[in-house]
Amino acid sequence: MKQRTILPAALLLSVTLAACGQSGSPTAHTSQVLTLTLQGNETPADLRARYGGEIVAFKPQAHLAIVRTDRPQLQTLGLGSSSETNEGRVRAQAGAVIWTKAGAVIWTKAPAVIWTKAGAVIWTKATFEMMPENSGNWVSAGLDAAQTRLTHLGSGVKVAVIDTGADTALFAGSLAPQSEWRDWVDGDTLPDEPGTPADAGFGHGTGITSTILQMSPGATILPLRVLGTNGGGDVADVAAAIVYAADSGSQVINLSLGTSDPSPAIEAAIQYAESLNVLVVTSSGNDGATQLDYPARGAQGDPQRLAVGSVGLDGTVSAFSNTGAGLSVFAPGEGIYSPAPQDYGVYWSGTSQSAAVVTGALALGLGEQHGPAQTRAALLSSTASVPGQGAGRLNLAAYSALLNP
């Protein structure tokens, strides 16, 4: 089996996006993004005249507007408003990657109904039939017990994956209507992943989507592309996608991405999504640091956000996983196998995958008609202890037993 190792995306410096591989007008890159607290009856025209640029989000009911601009802001922004650097600040939390061609071709044949086919066999004893390569990780987390007990398998739950896009052909039947898809990188509605395995971001969103559907085969995925093939993206695009996902009825948003510094625009977008009762799952970062990347760092004290770190098969914290204040839970994140575009298969090791595991677990609970607060509380109160850590390790057997005794 031929394998190729790609450098961890966590080593990437801030990068700018390049539009490639699809038709459409790429989103304009601008130097600043403004997060504005609306004071009264301002209109989008008022904001364009005052600040120039493009209105990314305009939510007067939430007193929120987000604007991308290159115009120098000579006037003082209003109370509660802010300006920050926009370009290339966000990166995928991809971690280490091993590619293979062997066997992956099965995922591009006879539409991928394996994800949602009624009555499909998912487990044979301790073997995960959908992807046997993940049996060890999923048994260690108790997924076999959870999928036996939570029989709707996430059906009826919409999950937004804000990432590098997805190979939409792989997940036919498991995606939201095509009219809802969006790509902020190329400025169109086709969020498929261009590129090759030599590109740091290639396949990342497809891998995240696959992991979520392995947890919750009945869930519906809304693919939203904000990161380019190099794994980098702009703050304004991420904020816009979060707002869009919430407005599109997503119940969970997966953010397997991060920045080293807080972003007022992303924070405001997350708070807007949470005001609509959306659960937001974030990855802690892959630097082996004792401080979380952002927006995971903002999970501390937030009742609807989860920050997820990685553990290996033996339940010990992965060497690459960021830990520290705000971390909510650990989940498997080493050697997670998924299909990838162009008939590749890939083993991912990173907190991106850990976040996707938790996102899928939440979808399992929500699919049983439990509310977001109850589902989140059950997941966090059922964890197994991790020595030396304040957060516990995902225990899906105990979680499912709490939800459906």
How far is it, in rounded angstroms, from Cα 395 to Cα 384?
6
How far is it, in rounded angstroms, from Cα 50 to Cα 54?
11
Question: Would residue 163 show up in a list of annotated catalytic residues for this protein?
Answer: yes
Does CATH place domain 91-403 in 3.40.30.10? no
pLDDT per residue as tens digits for the range 93-123: 888 888 876 544 444 333 344 555 555 789 9
**Which entry of 81, 352, 354, 382 is annotated as an active-site residue?**
352
Question: Would residue 216 show up in a list of annotated catalytic residues for this protein?
Answer: no
Output the average pLDDT for the chain. Answer: 88
pLDDT per residue as tens digits for the range 314-345: 999 999 999 999 999 999 999 999 999 988 88
**Which entry of 192, 204, 234, 256 is annotated as an active-site residue?**
204
Closest to 391 (Cα-Cα) out of 314, 303, 300, 319: 300
Task: Tokens for 45, please give them.
Answer: 């025209």
Residue with tokens 């959870």: 146
**pLDDT score of 19 more than 90:** no
> Across residues 244-267, what is the average pLDDT?
97
pLDDT per residue as tens digits for the range 121-169: 899 999 998 899 999 999 999 999 999 999 999 999 999 999 999 999 9
**Which entry of 163, 167, 192, 302 is annotated as an active-site residue?**
163
Q: Specify the DSSP element, H or E, that contains 138.
A: helix 135-141
pLDDT band at 77 (very low <50, low <70, confident <90, very high): confident
What integer pLDDT is reported at residue 209 of this predicted model? Answer: 97
Question: Would residue 152 show up in a list of annotated catalytic residues for this protein?
Answer: no
What integer pLDDT is reported at residue 76 of this predicted model? Answer: 65
**pLDDT score of 14 more than 50:** no
What integer pLDDT is reported at residue 16 of this predicted model? Answer: 25
| Domain map (residue ranges) of the chain | 32-85, 91-403
119 or 216, higher pLDDT? 216
pLDDT band at 71 (very low <50, low <70, confident <90, very high): confident
pTM of whole model > 0.75? yes
Task: Tokens for 23, please give them.
Answer: 């038709």
